[in-house]
Structure 1
Amino acid sequence: MKKIIFPLLVAFLLGTGAVRAQDNSELFIADMLTLADNFAKPASEGAAYQASAGWYSSAATLEKWDFRLSVHGNALFIPDDRKTFPLSNADLQLLEIEGSQNVRLPTAFGTQTATFFSGEVTFENPVSGNTETRAVRFKGFDGIDRDYVPHAFLQVAIGLPAGTEVTVRAMPQVTIDDVTASTFGLGLKHNFSQYFRNYSPEGFQLAAALTYSKFDVEYAFDAIEVEDLVMMNLIKVDAHLWMAEAIASKQWGAFELFGALGAASSSFDYVMGGDGPALITVNTQLQELGDVEAYFKTDLGFNIHLGRFRLSAMGTAGKFFNANLGLHVRI
């Protein structure tokens, strides 16, 4: 009897291993994560620069309990090296690039692509329980094809005691070229010039600030589907940014010059939108792609004061360049 049972047991285990070996859905998911990460990461970094720009245009703070309402317009300029990324078949585990071994594909900032990917995905159908194979073929993600990305938001600031100012920033959800974005932020600024000897409100101003921003971006694309396994049509980026900066400013009559040096830390979480039993697995593995980055940036600009009104213009430089215009009214 043992001579019969042992070979049967070995055959069963080998057979089970063979069935499992046929399931290559994890390789397909890994390839999709590779494509999604390269596509979305430059846009995540750009969103962090947009979120860090335009917070303050002066080291001076509001008088206690004064309010200031500000309307800002941003333009994030996209470097050419952030519009594409290289990919080869060696980077993929299951999919293949049709008609080529190496290509440059657009990021979310790039243009459209004519590159197609194809492969065969084998998986256990969760409904029937059978092992099935599906041919999959899809076009690479298209970017928004822009040299700059506009972004507008509102800010409200209130003066507190001891030369301190609190600012709240918000932008409602807006959609531009299949890209949806929204932001919220909170900032705290404290003036240190008040502790200097011979301090004067018209003199040199120095302040420090700490800000937090939450920036949500969604990128819609043509649905990529493996029937009975997964359908994906959206990449969501949840960005969190902490920034500390030193601000200096000096006013001469109606003209004020200001500059700032900042250090920021940003974290990104990705979520894929769509449907299907494998979507949970996709998003679980996407969480491992979440990234934390630290960087430095500089601001330089000027203000024109007109009574209760102030017009500001500034540039933020680092990995990206961001231009900001603001109209402020003191209440």
Structure 2
Amino acid sequence: MRKSCIISGLLVLFLFFSNIMKAQSGNTFQDVENLLNDALFYSDKYITPATDAAVYQAASGWITSPKKRKLWDVTLGLHSNIFFVPKRDRSFEIKNSDFSFFQIEGGATSTTVPTALGGDSLEYLVGDLDGGQIRLKTPEGVSQETIFYPYLQGSVALWHGTEVVVKYSPKTKLKRGDYQVYGFGLKHNVSQYFKVLESKKIHFSGLIAYSKEDISFDFISIPTQFGSLGINRLNGLVDTWQFQLNGSKEFKNFELMGGLIVNASKFEYIVGGPKGEIEEIIPLQDILNKKLEQISKNKTNVIGEISGRYQIKKVFLQPVIGFGKFVNTNFSVQYEF
């Protein structure tokens, strides 16, 4: 995210001073280690709300209907997903006591700064390294109250009430970054084993799905005496396994649905882009990516889902609401072949 990621200034400086200044004083080297620890702390607080939100954006709308379909039936849908950014996740508080190297400029002991989901930033962090001041502007966020992205989803009915489901979104441009998701899943109808449910037009199905979410932000390549750094992108990569149970009741052309989602996600962070001149001296990107492993994590989410599906001949209109820590909405137009 252009002018928005403090790690682009903090972690980068680590490369020079931890690899080139090892021969200098022990105090200088300790300052570099402190700088790196501050960078990891800030990066985690800054980017985690965005990757958490990505899980919700990818979770909704997998099951368009729990009904059992006929063999080789095909459903294609155009989905529009709208995520509402909650105010509580747009900013976080930092204190001087949180840092080993940096302090808040102006003598303040604490201040509020934006996360990746927040707005603009007017705060600066300052530190002293070997007699020279380092002054960095805290990151800006996407400055969007809602995040919209479209995607395509299709399913094919197989044997014994099983369907394969695939979703794919093109890379969606945000104000200061990009978002993309794709994945596949298997859905199986459970109510087919209970004829009394089928006779009352009540349907149940289960789903297991895998999705990959990729959130990327622009970086600044800071010019130095060693040449360009060439760190242009920061990516948050989320691998999610989703388990879901949905039930529905048909009322003529309308089907009312509810679902329970449990997903387990792995979060990783990497820097990339064209390598800079500094790579002739230090393998900068490799070092940064190794350090970023320290803020990788695993999380489990429990999400509720409600939706309604209205049929107009072979066309279906369906709004979906997913809720839990966040609220995510989805609207799709589907066609059944």
TM bracket, shorter-chain basis = 0.7 to 0.9
Question: Are residue 190 (structure 1) and residue 188 (structure 2) matched?
Answer: yes
Question: Does structure 2 conserve the Cα–Cα contact (< 8 Å) formed by 1:29 and 1:282?
Answer: no
Q: 5 Å matches for 1:183-222?
A: 183-198=181-196, 200=198, 203-222=201-220
Which aligned pairs between 1:168-179 and structure 2 lie closer than 5 A? 168-179=166-177
Kindly report which structure 2 residues correspond to 1:1-331, keeping only aligned pairs within 5 A, or say none.
Answer: 19-23=25-29, 24-99=31-106, 100-121=108-129, 135-198=133-196, 200=198, 203-223=201-221, 228=226, 232-273=231-272, 275=276, 276=278, 277=282, 278-331=284-337
> How far apart, CA to CA, are the structure 1 residues paired with 2:94 and 2:195?
60
Equivalent-residue separation in structure 2 for 1:312 and 1:305 (angstroms): 9
The SS at the match of 1:145 is: coil
8 Å contact kept, 1:310–1:328: yes
C-alpha displacement at 1:87, in angstroms? 0.6
Residue-pair matches, total: 306
Q: What per-residue deviation string (whole Å, max 9, x for no partner) do you get for residues 273-295 of structure 1?
A: 47543443332121121111112
Inter-CA distance 209–330: structure 2 relative to 1 (3 Å threshold): same
Offset at residue 202 of structure 1 (A): 6.5
Unpaired stretches in structure 2, ≥5 consecutive residues: 1-21
User: Deviation of residue 314 (structure 1)?
Assistant: 1.2
SS in 1 for 2:169: strand
TM-score, with length taken from structure 2: 0.85
Give CA-to-partner distance per residue, 1:164-190, whole Å, 9 cap, x none.
011011011121212111111111110
1:110 and 1:145 in contact (8 A); partners too = yes
> SS of the residue aligned with 1:172?
coil
The 8 Å contact of residues 263 and 295 in structure 1, kept in 2 or not, is answered as yes
- Root mean square deviation, CA, Å: 2.1
**Which structure 1 segments of 5+ residues have no match?**
1-15, 123-132
Note closer, same or farther for the CA distance 1:173–1:54 as it changes in structure 2 (3 Å cut): same
* Cα distance between partner residues in 2 of 1:232 and 1:240: 23
CA contact (8 A) 2:28 2:129 kept: no
Report the Cα distance in structure 2 between the residues aligned to 1:48 and 1:297, rounded to whole angstroms. 10
2:218–2:234 Cα contact (<8 Å) kept: yes
Q: Compute the displacement of 1:192 (Å).
A: 0.8
Instruction: Describe the SS at the equivalent of 2:215.
Output: strand
Whole-Å Cα distance in 1 between the matches of residues 240 and 225 of structure 2? 38
**TM superposition score normalised by structure 1:** 0.86
Query: In structure 2, what is the Cα distance between the partners aligned to 1:39 and 1:201?
Result: 52
Q: Quick check: 2:124–2:135 contact (8 Å CA) kept in 1? A: yes
Residue 61 of structure 1: how far off its partner (Å): 3.4
Find the residue that maps to 1:200 and give its secondary structure: helix
Secondary structure of 2:240's counterpart equals strand
CA distance in 2, matches of 1:38, 1:159: 43
- For each residue in 1:59-83, what CA deviation from the matched residue of structure 2 results, as whole angstroms up to 9, or x when unmatched? 1133111111111111111111101
